[in-house]
Structure 1
Amino acid sequence: MRTFIAIELPIQLKEKLSQLQEGLKASNGDVKWVEPKNIHLTLKFLGELELEKIKKVEALLEEIAKTHTSYSTTLSEVGTFPRSGLPRVIWVGVSKGESETKKIAEDIEAKAAKIGINKEKRLFSSHITIGRVRSGKNSTKLLQELARLKSFPRDARMEFTVTKITLFKSTLTPQGPIYEIVKEAHLTSI
């Protein structure tokens, strides 16, 4: 089963991010946009896991959730990977709550390694992928639109409370991925 651990976003926030995507679509860049229903903040991609390993991941999620409290986080900027040149990934960044998100991701990384799951080669970067650039078509227009949207207007900043971490199953289909919740682990209440 193909799996990952993520922070699921509230529906209202997914709708706002969908509106942001719509604004960027005007550039006619060659971008594969993440379906609004699938937008999330990935904490760790696990890959293909057998049922026995999934049970261990479920247990470690419960363990981690008990050691972290729910917290408020704010999405505040649009960016790309790489940061210069033709982008490959378009993302929305986290400002408030970034350190809490990073601590949870680091705990997941450390505990997952103890049960035989490979460590990430890259450092964790708290972001929400909203699109993947497929080619340089209309890249100048896309980059101009991204520069215009670099920071959200103050009243458009998006805030939500992180209350749980979720293990998802990802099924790849020709129409795009289908995500299903396998396990939710609720963080300790504030």
Structure 2
Amino acid sequence: MRAFIGLPLPHEIRASLKELQRELATAGADVKWVEPQNVHVTLKFLGEITEPQRQDIERRLREIGAASISFIAQLAKPGAFPSWSAPRVIWIGIEPGDKPMSALAARIEEAMGGVGIAKEPKPFAVHVTIGRVRSARGLRELSARIRGLQWQPPKPWTVSTVTLYESRLSPGGPTYAVLAETPLGRSVEAG
């Protein structure tokens, strides 16, 4: 099965991102917008895993979760990979919450080596992917829209769960199924 480890986003956050996507889509750029139910923070892409690996991954996530604390996160400004001059991915940053997310991703990255999952060659970048650019059509207008954006990020939320997802690919786009949810040890509530 194809899998990844991520952080789910609350309904209100996904709804706010859907409104943002709707606004940006009026630029007419050739972007495949991520379906709101699929929006999340990827901490580690695992690729194809076996059932024994899955069980080991779940065990390691429980250990990491027990040793971690929940934290507050908030969406920030938009960005693009690799850059705005040649965008392939449109994303929204996270701040505050970026440092604990990066630390959590580093612990997961380290633990997955023991399961036979290759290390990521690129450094982890905290973000929520909202769209993938298919061609250069309309990018100038999209870039102008983003620069003039009056979007206000929604309220902060509490990150309290790490999720192991299965990613099922189909012609209509990917669908994600929750394989396991791991609570983060101690709680902190968003204010």
Counterpart mapping for 1:1-190 below 5 A: 1-149=1-149, 152-153=151-152, 156-190=153-187
Q: Report the 3-state secondary structure (helix = DSSP H, G, I; strand = E; otherwise coil) of the residue aligned with 2:125.
A: coil
1:94 partner amino acid: I
CA drift of 1:35 comes to 0.2
Amino acid of the structure 2 residue aligned with 1:60: R
Show structure 1 runs of 4+ deviating over 3 A.
Answer: none
State the AA in 1 paired with 2:68: H
Asked if structure 2 preserves the Cα contact closer than 8 Å seen for 1:76 and 1:157, the reply is no
* 1:73-98 CA-partner distances (Å, limit 9, x unpaired): 01111111122312100000011011
Deviates more, 1:80-89 or 1:35-44: 80-89
How much does 1:115 deviate?
1.8
Q: Which runs of 5+ in 1 are unaligned?
A: none
Report the residue type matching 1:59 in the other structure.
R
Aligned-residue offset at 1:140? 0.8
Identity %: 39
TM-score (norm 1): 0.95
Post-superposition Cα deviations, 1:90-109, rounded to whole Å, max 9, x if no partner, equal: 00001101110001000000
How far residue 158 of structure 1 moved from its aligned partner, in angstroms, is 3.8
TM-score, normalisation: structure 2 = 0.95
- How many angstroms apart in 2 are the aligned matches of 1:81 and 1:117? 24
Deviation at 1:58, TM superposition (A): 0.5
Cα RMSD for the two superposed structures: 1.1
Tell me the distance in 1 between the aligned counterparts of 2:123 and 2:155.
25
Q: CA deviation at 1:152?
A: 4.2
- Point out where structure 2 has 5 or more consecutive residues left out of the alignment: none
| Shift in Å, 1:31 | 0.2
1:4 and 1:47 in contact (8 A); partners too: yes
